[in-house]
């Protein structure tokens, strides 16, 4: 099978981990040697089959630079995984639109270069899949890039909480274009939502009744700052619904971002609190903390989604692809238990 030609929109911390991860895992020849990936092989495709052929950003410290250099430019501050060689992919200038909020205007340095012809670049580079890694609050920009992808004949992956795959009009837009679409709000490889759902599933399977539960995040980096300003309530709504879907009954659930701490940089601290009852109404309480780094937490899931989208393209799937969306995103068009979503996904990739 030919290389999976992708374009990245937003060269931030998640993009940095994705780009570095492609270099890091290119040295592995088998799953026995490989650690850190959920799926080394997926539908006969490997991480080395993914090729980044174009990228877009608005920061002057990234625009015009080789992608291998741009991923380490400020304000990026995620983990440096490996040394990079030039990719021969120059970061193009995209339109600003609503790409930055008030809180990050002093952090992001907007390039004064002329906007690139995004649709033209996608066509010229032979892009098959556009991966949207813009900030959570960039709703207009996300919709605009989705439209450019459809015009250019590219599938679209929406990693942000903006409703794209879950929007009926946008889903119909991609269906008419004969292209697959997935989203919304990428789930982490091992993040707070996955851990919370797993804990609740384990407890309820063992007869514990959940009375109240919350999960709150504190993070650093520009994405966390932007989330606090523009999408705090949206993210909280998405995460809360995702957690509620893991329970067989209604109870008190709160989940979402609660604060920004600059010195955490690209790290995230997640706090979990669960109260319930078990045999003869005896009380049970769980109080946990999980610390992760945001950028790398997106890598393994993106590898899976990109390869699954190539399979969707080969199958000529049109519109929102439920097996991929339910498996890899916090807010798919239809919420379902983890086990059901995984069965659907692996049946789909075959």
Q: What is the CATH number of the domain that holds 267?
A: 3.30.360.10
**How far, CA to CA in Å, does 6 sit from each of 175, 298, 319?**
20, 16, 18
Do 231 and 335 lie in one domain? The reply is no
Residue 262: burial class (beta carbons within 10 Å; 0-12, 13-18, 19+):
exposed
Do 65 and 161 lie in one domain? The reply is yes
Do 222 and 164 lie in one domain? The reply is no
293, 309, 341 - which closes a domain: 293
Tokens of 289: 């903390």
Do 222 and 140 lie in one domain? The reply is no
Question: What H or E segment, with its residue span, contains residue 259?
Answer: strand 252-260
Sheet holding 209-219, edge to edge: 252-260, 209-219, 267-277, 283-293
Chain Cα centroid distance, residue 275: 30
Do 204 and 314 lie in one domain? The reply is no
Bridge partners of residue 286, in order along the sequence: 274
Do 74 and 208 lie in one domain? The reply is no
Do 217 and 136 lie in one domain? The reply is no
Do 247 and 129 lie in one domain? The reply is no
Rounded to two decimals, the pTM is 0.93
205 Cβ contact partners less than 8 Å away, ≥ 6 residues apart: none
Structural domains in the chain (count): 2
Q: Which of 91, 180, 178, 171 is nearest to 130 (CA)?
A: 180
Nearest-10 crossing angle of helices 338-349, 294-314? 50
Do 143 and 253 lie in one domain? The reply is no
Do 262 and 304 lie in one domain? The reply is no
Cβ–Cβ contacts within 10 Å for residue 206, how many? 8
Query: 222: domain range?
Result: 192-293
265, 293, 321 - which closes a domain: 293
Query: From CA 245, how far away is CA 224, in angstroms rounded?
Result: 25
Chain Cα centroid distance, residue 40: 18
CATH of the domain at 328: 3.40.50.720
Query: CA 134, 84, 299 angle in degrees (round to 5)?
Result: 40
Residue 28: burial class (beta carbons within 10 Å; 0-12, 13-18, 19+):
middle
254, 272, 293 - which closes a domain: 293
Do 124 and 142 lie in one domain? The reply is yes
Tokens of 235: 């993210």
Tens of pLDDT along the chain (350 residues) come to: 579 999 999 999 999 999 999 999 988 877 777 889 999 999 999 999 999 999 999 999 999 999 999 999 999 999 999 999 999 999 999 999 998 888 888 899 999 999 999 999 999 999 999 999 999 899 999 999 999 999 999 999 999 999 999 999 999 999 999 999 999 999 999 989 889 999 999 999 999 999 999 999 999 988 898 888 888 888 899 899 989 988 999 999 999 988 899 999 999 999 999 999 999 999 999 999 999 999 999 999 999 999 999 999 999 999 999 999 999 999 999 988 888 999 999 999 99
Do 54 and 179 lie in one domain? The reply is yes
């Amino acid at each position: 099978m030919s290389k999976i030609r992708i374009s990245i929109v937003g060269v931030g911390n998640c993009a940095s981990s994705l780009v570095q991860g492609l270099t890091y895992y290119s040295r592995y020849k088998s799953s026995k040697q490989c650690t850190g990936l959920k799926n080394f092989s997926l539908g006969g495709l490997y991480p080395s089959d993914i090729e980044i052929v174009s990228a877009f950003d608005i920061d002057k410290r990234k625009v015009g630079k080789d992608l291998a250099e741009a991923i380490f430019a400020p304000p990026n501050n995620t983990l440096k995984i490996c040394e990079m060689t030039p990719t021969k992919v120059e970061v193009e200038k995209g339109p600003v639109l609503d790409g930055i909020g008030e809180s990050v205007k002093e952090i992001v340095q907007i390039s004064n270069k002329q906007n690139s012809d995004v649709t033209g670049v996608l066509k010229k580079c032979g892009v098959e899949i556009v991966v949207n890694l813009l900030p959570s609050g960039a709703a207009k920009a996300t919709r605009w890039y989705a439209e450019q992808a459809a015009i250019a004949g590219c599938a679209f992956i929406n990693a942000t909480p903006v409703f794209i795959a879950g929007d009926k009009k946008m889903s119909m837009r991609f269906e008419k274009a004969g292209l697959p679409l997935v989203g919304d709000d990428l789930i982490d490889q091992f993040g707070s939502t996955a851990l919370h759902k797993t804990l609740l599933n384990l407890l309820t399977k063992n007869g514990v009744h959940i009375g109240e539960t919350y999960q709150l995040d504190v993070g650093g980096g520009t994405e966390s700052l932007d989330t606090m300003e523009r999408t705090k309530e949206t993210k909280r709504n998405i995460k809360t619904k995702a957690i509620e879907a893991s329970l067989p009954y209604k109870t008190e659930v709160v989940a979402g971002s609660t604060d920004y701490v600059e010195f955490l940089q690209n790290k995230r601290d997640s706090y979990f609190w669960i109260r319930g009852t078990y045999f003869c109404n005896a009380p049970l309480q769980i109080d946990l903390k999980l610390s992760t780094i945001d950028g790398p937490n997106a890598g393994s899931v993106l590898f899976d989604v990109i390869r699954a989208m190539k399979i969707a393209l080969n199958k000529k799937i049109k519109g929102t692809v439920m097996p991929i969306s339910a498996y890899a995103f916090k807010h798919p068009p239809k919420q379902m238990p983890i086990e059901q979503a995984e069965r659907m996904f692996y049946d789909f990739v075959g």
